[in-house]
Structure 1
């Protein structure tokens, strides 16, 4: 991207709506309630041939530095300092307020280019608010409607004038044409096992109950106060993504809103936050479920782990706030026993005691994330699987149904992420669920695949004579 733009303004003037319009997706939560956005959220914006990085910010208000609103203001000021240009959004329908004038003075002191944007200009009676915007002394306001997409061409021209054409439209680099030969498809090779690609960025979602320490954990990873934190429960509302490097590997980590039990989620805004968190789980590859070590294994914790496993994601447990534990060794032994007993669907899941406040255990947690992702991506050759199938069915044959023994003939891995296997057999509908669990647990042990979902599907060949009479002609009734 050629430059960075921050969207700033007081609460409820349409900043997040404009952000969603520029990125072309509904990434930021939008609601009529003031103060929905709290953290700063970056995105890749496209505006009629103009490409840049856009940052959505919280509404600026006057507040004490230690209060929640004060910490939100600090996050917004950090975004302004990071950006090359600011879009100062005012509400043309409502008109100016003393807060708008204070923000205009703050932006003027920063000495960076500012584009004044009069949003909601399509509303009846918005002319007065539009002309009042001239009194801010930030130049001619650009009338737009972020909700309906009006005025986007004028907004683009104003951004180009403020940043300069050379910065707005950098020259394209020449890309030399090369003949790239694709590797031969190896799926038909029964002994083929692809190697793990540790150069690809890894997407990790951090989930958990409210106030479990998710944002504090990510800030400790980054080494800066990138996300809003505090003693209040439910601070995070949007799912915010941040990127950083760990031992040369790009990690894209998603902070999510705390998820309470469904019966307790009644407000519309919290429902939107939970839905955003669920989308992050589906988009991620590995999901870290953060437990509060002082009150672990609440019912909601177990339901979150079960949700991640059912979605087919790789899961890692992080027991946070370990610095508050008085007898860590005794608690660790108890947690290990409860993990094996309460989470049989994710047997062998990796669990790491950590402290987001002090940074204890974070390297071990990241290594567990990488190891789990390797297991989640693992492929086993068909030849190994069939040798294993012969051995395992000899030790413990499938049960007989109506006096006829079920036969497992052939096995292959049909996909990874998570590992999924297909077994060709007879009478697949009669195979009991207990035998499938036996196969899954044996796969985990024999091929070292702890903690990841394993799926087994069965297929039986169609009987060509099932709908016929053995190739013989049916006798005709006598006349």
Structure 2
């Protein structure tokens, strides 16, 4: 049983708090100041045995122009049109305002089903406001407290019959027909199947990060083919890390739009700190990170810090340069950026650098191919036999140093994990291996096993100079000595 529940209402009535309550996680940013939420945030809601999609919307503003508030309102109205049920939240402590009555009239015309929830009703302070909500003419209001979880059982009782009605009215799904057919043995063998490849059930996790006003939301809207995220000329529109699921050129992806990240010294407001922290959390959840640059001011210090953070977190990185349609001398600019990239981000040597235009959609095919390639490399596994053959050739070509006359021997190498690729080398005197030789091995892995750009983790484990068969040989010698000793103790003639 699945339906869509949109939470709507004036700013600062507790919509995001209620959203977090229904999804069971603190996904939406919550603050005392009004207007924190600007985009539509979706989550998997759960209330008893009900499972549904819940949408947190921006506060409804009485603005109809092209201002930021007007664009936020139109985005919320679209959520009202598409939702199965609208949960209209009012503030029971402030009572019903003229704005509430105005928006109640909009919901009466546009929404399929409306439930009125008088939030902040705990205690006596909200009794009068909850009673005033009857005047909206949208049915009996529910007295709830999103912060304390009160009234959730009443909400469940109201949602249950509506969910049953929506399920009954929904047309039956059309069975898919295909000309392809495979035997049961072929289906069970799974030959050639690779679990890491994106599927509809497990899409590729992609985060788009960058400085404010780089065009992150515009780029994602172009990928989606609709104005799903709030955009505009103002910098810093996006506050929450919004995730959307889509099929990008045949690849199932979950894309995270993040707030613009400024220099830490410039981030002073609590809300912006929360937004940046939410964006950093999205990077940790992602598999591939697209660092979006502005072609007019690429590779600023903040861009380098953002890219370095993604690499430090072990994520596959793609560098995308936006607003490419505004550049006149494209070939010269591209060569200049490639040189700067190699110089300023040596830890991401070989990572894809693509040019795009979020406004026109030019270069989206290159971006898709770069993301898929980076994801594939991030999941690459190299057989142990090939690694040890390669290690022998590398040490023969360039032997490790011998500090203090003690020769370092690299004895054995294996890959211990992927996402990102991580390798262990058994060696002697691991504390004496210089950083330059570690870089030599990592660069060799990138070049010889086609792993450009992805973070590579290389660990050295001290094996020492002991013979691995020493314990076994000692055991055999001791066993032989014990046998001789027993033979000497036997009496003659026995």
The alignment of Structure 1 onto Structure 2 pairs a total of residues equal to 455
After the TM superposition, which residues 425-436 of structure 1 pair with which residues of structure 2 at under 5 Å, given as runs?
Answer: 425-436=427-438
Partner of 1:126, secondary structure, is helix
Counterpart residue number, 1:251: 253
Segments ≥4 residues shifted beyond 3 Å = 161-166, 178-184, 192-196, 462-465
Per the alignment, residue 243 of structure 2 pairs with 241
| C-alpha separation in 2, matches of 1:385 and 1:290 | 35
Measure, in 2, the Cα distance between the counterparts of 1:226 and 1:121. Answer: 33
Match of 1:306? Answer: 308
1:148 is aligned to 148
Q: Helix, strand or coil: the match of 1:435?
A: helix
Written as runs of structure 1 = structure 2, the 5 A alignment for 1:4-83 is: 4-83=4-83
Aligned counterpart in structure 2 of residue 232 of structure 1, from 217, 231, 234: 234
The answer to whether the Cα contact below 8 Å between 2:41 and 2:243 also exists between their aligned partners in 1 is: yes
Q: Would you say the 8 A contact 1:194–1:379 is kept in 2? A: no
Question: How many angstroms does 1:332 deviate by?
Answer: 0.6
Q: Given the superposition, is the C-alpha separation of residues 244 and 193 from structure 1 closer, same or farther in structure 2, using an over 3 Å criterion?
A: closer
SS at match of 1:197: coil
Q: Which runs of 5+ in 2 are unaligned?
A: 174-183, 468-473, 475-494
1:372-404 per-position Cα deviation (integer Å, ceiling 9, x unaligned): 100000000000000000000000000001111
2:425/2:461 contact within 8 Å kept = yes
Cα distance between partner residues in 2 of 1:325 and 1:140 = 59
CA distance in 2, matches of 1:246, 1:27: 24
Distance in 2 (CA, whole Å) between partners of 1:75 and 1:111 is: 14
CA contact (8 A) 2:429 2:464 kept: no
Supply the distance in 2 between the matched residues of 1:159 and 1:194 (Cα, whole angstroms): 41
Superposition deviation, residue 181 in structure 1: 11
Look up the match of 2:203: 201
Partner of 2:179: none
Matches within 5 A, 1:83-98: 83-98=83-98
Q: Is 2:130 the partner of 1:130?
A: yes
Q: Whole-Å Cα distance in 1 between the matches of residues 80 and 247 of structure 2?
A: 24
Question: The residue matched to 1:253 in structure 2 has which SS?
Answer: strand
Tell me the distance in 2 between the aligned counterparts of 1:366 and 1:219: 15
Structure with bigger gyration radius: 2
- CA-atom RMSD in angstroms: 2.5
TM-score, normalised via structure 2 length: 0.88
Contact 2:198 2:252 in 1 (8 A): no
Q: How far off its partner does 1:168 sit?
A: 8.8
How far 1:123 moved relative to its partner?
4.1
Q: 1:448 to 1:279 in 2, by over 3 A?
A: same
1:290/1:111 CA distance change after superposition, 3 Å: closer
- Structure number having the greater helix percentage: 2
1:402 matched to 2:404? The reply is yes
Residue in structure 1 matched with residue 447 of structure 2 by the alignment: 445
Match of residue 359 from structure 2: 357
Which consecutive unaligned segments of at least 5 residues does structure 1 have? 187-191, 471-479
8 A contact 1:309–1:315 mirrored in 2: yes
Of stretches 261-270 and 107-116 in structure 1, the one that deviates more from structure 2 is 107-116
The CA deviation string for residues 220-240 of structure 1, in whole angstroms up to 9 with x for no partner, is 011110000000000000001
Q: List per-residue Cα deviations over 1:241-282 (Å, max 9, x = no partner).
A: 111113432111000000001111110000000010001000
